[in-house]
């Protein structure tokens, strides 16, 4: 399976990674935990592993996945819905701390809000850019 990511997909990937970093950063601050490079990495790693697995399943950064704003947001939703439980399970195994429903819910919905917080404007701008580019070609 060959995975080819175009520049738009790279922008999506960078934005998604930033959303994950911000979620972890603000989570550490909210829980009065030290914000260190290692601490952020330890918290982020399980969810990035889950994200990598899910993006391979849904081909989240392939051109077809962002061909329309609706497809882009739906693909991201499917990707996060698969990645979150994988990340939670890896985190629980790694730390030895059982998953609680409240932690799972907060993690899922707050990270989803971070992802949507940047993906919604991106999807709209990308749709407008495609429309104006298409109109200038014809």
Q: Which pLDDT does position 2 carry in this prediction?
A: 63
Residue with tokens 């429903």: 101
Q: What is the pLDDT of residues 76-106, one digit of tens each?
A: 999 999 999 999 999 999 999 999 999 999 9
Residue 1 lies in a domain: no
**Total number of domains constituting the chain:** 1
Question: pLDDT-based confidence at 50, cuts 50/70/90?
Answer: very high
> Can you tell me the distance from the alpha carbon of 38 to that of 61, in angstroms, rounded to the nearest whole number?
27
Indicate the DSSP class of residue 3. -
Q: Which pLDDT does position 32 carry in this prediction?
A: 95
Structural domain for 123, as ranges: 7-137
* CA angle at 12 for the pair 110 and 55, rounded to the nearest 5°: 75
Beta strands in 1-138 (DSSP E): none
Residue 2 lies in a domain: no
User: Taking the CA of residue 116 as centre, how many other CA atoms within 13 Å lie in the half-sphere pointing to its CB?
Assistant: 12
Q: Does the pLDDT value for residue 138 go beyond 70?
A: no
Q: What is the pLDDT of residues 98-134, one digit of tens each?
A: 999 999 999 999 999 999 999 999 988 988 887 887 6
């Amino acid at each position: 399976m060959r995975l080819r990511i175009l520049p738009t997909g790279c922008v999506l990937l960078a934005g998604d990674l930033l959303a994950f970093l911000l979620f972890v950063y603000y989570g550490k601050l909210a829980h009065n935990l030290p914000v260190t490079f290692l601490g952020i990495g330890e918290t982020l790693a399980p969810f990035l592993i889950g994200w990598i697995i899910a993006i391979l399943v849904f081909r989240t950064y392939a051109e077809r996945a962002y061909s329309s704003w609706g497809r882009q947001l739906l693909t991201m939703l499917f990707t996060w819905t698969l990645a979150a439980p994988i990340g939670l399970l890896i985190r629980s195994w790694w730390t030895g701390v059982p998953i609680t429903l409240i932690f799972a819910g907060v993690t899922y919905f707050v990270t989803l809000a971070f992802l949507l917080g940047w993906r919604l404007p991106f999807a709209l701008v990308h749709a407008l850019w495609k429309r104006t580019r298409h109109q200038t070609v014809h």
